[in-house]
Amino acid sequence: MKLKLPNPGLEDRILSHQQLDKVEEEEAGDRPKWDNKAQYMLTCVGFCVGLGNVWRFPYLCQSHGGGAFMIPFLILLVLEGIPLLHLEFAIGQRLRRGSLGVWATIHPYLTGIGVASMCVSLTISLYYNTIIAWILWYLFNSFQETLPWSQCPMNANLTGIISECERSSPVDYFWYRETLNTTPSIEEDGGLQWWMLLCHVCAWSFLYICIIRGIETTGKAVYVTSTLPYVVLTVFLIRGLTLKGSFNGVKFLFTPDLSELAKPTTWLDAGAQVFYSFSLAFGGLISFSSYNSVHNNCEQDAVIISIINGFTSVYAATVIYTIIGFRATERFDNCLSGNIVALLNAFELAESDITDSSYDQVVQRLNETYPDVIQGLDLKTCNLDTFLSEGVEGTGLAFIVFTEAITKMPISPLWAVLFFIMLFCLGLSSMFGNIEGIIVPLQDLKVFPKTWPKEATTAVTCLICCAVGLIFLQGSGNYWLSLFDTYGGSIPLLVVAFCEMVSVVYIYGIDRFNDDIKFMIGHKPNFFWQATWRVISPLIMLFILVFYIITKVSEKLLYKAWDPESEKFPTLVEKTYPVWIYVIIFVLAGIPCIAIPFIAVWKCVKDCCWYG
């Protein structure tokens, strides 16, 4: 028994199969088209593969039991990622509209889903490009023989190094002070940082030149931005494997801890990671797919892109952890030699008396004979696993941990340049999809006059986003960015994805959808697709959404601040948000979600009034 909600007038709004064929044959549509299949695949891969694959997945993998995390990740990839991806590709290709157009076509009351998608794409574009600006800043600073984050600068009267840097580390100082110039709390805005403004303008100009004529220019840009990261990852893998201690890192990453599978948070994080990694519910994928020819094999595309995305996550995790293993081993060696030197100096022993291997025995022996002296020395505990599990994710991984590791490699500027070019390409190719998810709905909503050329509409969008993005360039910009990231890009997407599945399966009709796919690719979707689209995937989405809301609502709203005046410096201090932040959180997370029922009700009321 198939549930289907009544949907009169659907036939009037969509092109029939014969009409689609005719349009295809005569090439009469005014819709842009991909030059070739490779452009389409590269654009989708670029959109899906982003910064999250490099700096979120390795952290999750290592903190949730290493190799064991692969199990929930792969299971949810198959049950949640691939079906949703196929759904978006198929509906875009069939209805040949952007995300807003698709939902409005299926039923006018569902326009809210498109609007919500657009809002989320807008929120994310705003702060994502600031991250690209940070990457550009580091990239520009990498063209120096001694990298600026490898040593502390001197203070004003040249008597010593700056105290903030001395108490923390050169990489921390460069990130928090010279890049962000961060304020101790979110209330103090600290003014605009001019160097960041320049990089911000550069990032938006770069994006503009790539999207200036829509997929005509984007399609050319992706040949570089989607392939270069793989080249750089391979180079880093080769370099990483030849460094000392890299195998420690890889072993640590993949050592399975099967007890983690019993915890629900592992499955929740795996599900969330699969979902966000595929860039679903942004509307960009629907748009990209709508530029394809009608008979393109979207099923095959969905499977291929999912496999590439999963493989890239694992590959990037391996590369990152070879470098982290190297850094941890280096730290461990330094810690140990520091202790050894302290012991040698205190007991006036010859240098060859204590080696790395005999360290433990010697310390034990000396502790028995001279316990007070050992106490007085205050030796640090050196544990390799502690250093390895200084698991960092996000900007901390890229701009602090990895940059530190790079300074210890020979020919550091080369590796820094390569690394930041890779991050730049990963970020930029994701931005193409985000911007597509904003511009196409705006065109569908007829916000821009029809007489304006494409170049003008993209210019206006980029200018407005650039202007609003100035929030993130202040001293407190980093705190605003993590606020937007945590609340703007999480819950609304889950809601939109759930609504998408329900709309296509139950309002558009799974029977009609199956027929469409049979028309497009030649065979009806098999049992796997039926089961996942109708039951399994919506249930998984619902579970993730509910658990996410529960965890987010129950936890206290805290943020981590860099405060040189605090006692725990250089550890980040946890502070509570001020009260007015709750309003902002509501705007970010609540408004897109509320837009869906609100617009439905509004349209219903409008229709009733029209007929009444």
Partner 1 sequence: MLGKIFFLLCLSSAWAEDLCSKAVPPEAYYVRLSIKTALGDKAYVWNDNEMFLFQATLAFAMRSQFSGQEYNVSNIVVCDETPRVSFWFVVTSLEDPSRLVSRGDVEQAVRKSRNRINSAFLLTDQTLEFIGITPTLAAPVAPNTPPWLIVFGVVMGAVFAGILVLLVLPLIQKKRKKNQPMEDEDSDEETQVKTAENGPERSGVYNMSFSDDDKFTQM
Supply 592's token pair.
């897109």
Q: Considering the complex, what minimum distance in angstroms separates the CB of residue 28 from partner 1? A: 4
The residues in 434-493 that bind partner 1, with binding defined as CB under 8 A, are 455
Residue whose C-alpha is closest to residue 145's, from 413, 434, 359, 421: 413
Identify which range of 201-209, 309-317, 372-380, 505-513 contacts partner 1 by CB under 8 A.
201-209
Identify which range of 342-350, 435-443, 517-525, 580-588 contacts partner 1 by CB under 8 A.
342-350
Residue ranges of the annotated binding site for Na(+) are 46, 49, 53, 277, 309, 426, 430
- Member of 74, 78, 162, 202 binding partner 1 (CB under 8 A): 202
Residue whose C-alpha is closest to residue 122's, from 465, 541, 507, 368: 465
CB distance 126 to 466 below 8 Å: no
Largest CA distance in the chain: 99
**Residue 599 exposed, middle or buried by CB count within 10 Å (0-12, 13-18, 19+):** buried
Euclidean distance between CA atoms 358 and 344, whole angstroms: 13
DSSP string of 14-58, one letter each residue: S--HHHHHHHHHHT---S---SSHHHHHHHHHHHHSSHHHHHTHH
Q: What are phi and psi of 560, to 5 degrees?
A: -100, 125
Helices (H) and strands (E) in the chain, counts: 32, 2
End-to-end Cα distance, the chain: 36
- Member of 1, 3, 26, 381 binding partner 1 (CB under 8 A): 26
208 makes contact with partner 1 (CB under 8 A): yes
16 makes contact with partner 1 (CB under 8 A): yes
358 makes contact with partner 1 (CB under 8 A): no
| DSSP helix/strand/coil, 560 | strand
Q: Considering the complex, what minimum distance in angstroms separates the CB of residue 464 from partner 1? A: 17
140 makes contact with partner 1 (CB under 8 A): yes
Q: Please report which helix (H) or strand (E) contains residue 576, including its range.
A: strand 573-576
Q: Considering the complex, what minimum distance in angstroms separates the CB of residue 160 from partner 1? A: 7
CB distance 464 to 312 below 8 Å: no
- Member of 40, 59, 109, 137 binding partner 1 (CB under 8 A): 137
Q: Considering the complex, what minimum distance in angstroms separates the CB of residue 175 from partner 1? A: 15
Identify which range of 22-30, 40-48, 53-61, 303-311 contacts partner 1 by CB under 8 A.
22-30
424 makes contact with partner 1 (CB under 8 A): no
Which parts of 89-218 are beta strand (E)? none
Euclidean distance between CA atoms 282 and 99, whole angstroms: 8
The residues in 147-186 that bind partner 1, with binding defined as CB under 8 A, are 153-154, 158, 160
377 makes contact with partner 1 (CB under 8 A): no
353 makes contact with partner 1 (CB under 8 A): yes
Total of residues contacting partner 1 (CB under 8 A): 41
367 makes contact with partner 1 (CB under 8 A): no
- Member of 1, 194, 262, 351 binding partner 1 (CB under 8 A): 351
| DSSP helix/strand/coil, 368 | helix
- Member of 337, 486, 514, 530 binding partner 1 (CB under 8 A): 337
- Member of 78, 192, 197, 212 binding partner 1 (CB under 8 A): 212
Euclidean distance between CA atoms 400 and 312, whole angstroms: 23
Q: Considering the complex, what minimum distance in angstroms separates the CB of residue 404 from partner 1? A: 19
CB distance 330 to 245 below 8 Å: yes
> What amino acid is encoded at 157 in this protein?
N
Residue nearer to partner 1 on the CB measure, 344 or 502: 344
Residue nearer to partner 1 on the CB measure, 439 or 540: 439
199 makes contact with partner 1 (CB under 8 A): yes
- Member of 2, 5, 22, 571 binding partner 1 (CB under 8 A): 22
Q: Please report which helix (H) or strand (E) contains residue 393, including its range.
A: none
Residue nearer to partner 1 on the CB measure, 137 or 487: 137
DSSP state of 558: E
Positive or negative, the CA dihedral 565, 568, 572, 575 is negative
Residues contacting 471, CB < 8 A, separation 6+: 477, 480
23 makes contact with partner 1 (CB under 8 A): yes
Q: Considering the complex, what minimum distance in angstroms separates the CB of residue 415 from partner 1? A: 17
Residue ranges of the annotated binding site are 46, 49, 53, 277, 309, 426, 430
Residue nearer to partner 1 on the CB measure, 164 or 189: 164
Q: Considering the complex, what minimum distance in angstroms separates the CB of residue 128 from partner 1? A: 19
Residue nearer to partner 1 on the CB measure, 69 or 137: 137
Q: Considering the complex, what minimum distance in angstroms separates the CB of residue 361 from partner 1? A: 18
How many alpha carbons fall within 13 Å on the CB side of residue 76? 24
- Member of 177, 213, 560, 575 binding partner 1 (CB under 8 A): 213
Supply 528's token pair.
């796997």
Euclidean distance between CA atoms 391 and 104, whole angstroms: 44
Supply 413's token pair.
């500027």
Residue nearer to partner 1 on the CB measure, 154 or 468: 154
344 makes contact with partner 1 (CB under 8 A): yes
CB atoms within 10 A of CB 518: 13
Identify which range of 212-220, 511-519, 561-569, 579-587 contacts partner 1 by CB under 8 A.
212-220
Identify which range of 133-141, 235-243, 475-483, 496-504 contacts partner 1 by CB under 8 A.
133-141
Q: Considering the complex, what minimum distance in angstroms separates the CB of residue 25 from partner 1? A: 10
Residue nearer to partner 1 on the CB measure, 206 or 419: 206
411 makes contact with partner 1 (CB under 8 A): no
Q: What are phi and psi of 56, to 5 degrees?
A: -115, -45
- Member of 36, 144, 300, 364 binding partner 1 (CB under 8 A): 144
- Member of 37, 38, 166, 205 binding partner 1 (CB under 8 A): 205
359 makes contact with partner 1 (CB under 8 A): no
DSSP string of 257-280, one letter each residue: -GGGGG-HHHHHHHHHHHHHHTTT
143 makes contact with partner 1 (CB under 8 A): yes
Q: Considering the complex, what minimum distance in angstroms separates the CB of residue 209 from partner 1? A: 5
DSSP string of 582-607, one letter each residue: HHHHIIIIIHHHHHHHHHHHHHHHHH
User: Could you identify the residue written with the tokens 């979600």?
Assistant: 593
CB atoms within 10 A of CB 463: 12
Supply 380's token pair.
């640090």
> What residue ranges bind partner 1 (CB under 8 A)?
11, 16, 19, 22-23, 26, 28, 136-137, 139-141, 143-144, 153-154, 158, 160, 195, 198-199, 201-202, 205-206, 208-209, 212-213, 217, 337, 341, 344-345, 348-353, 455
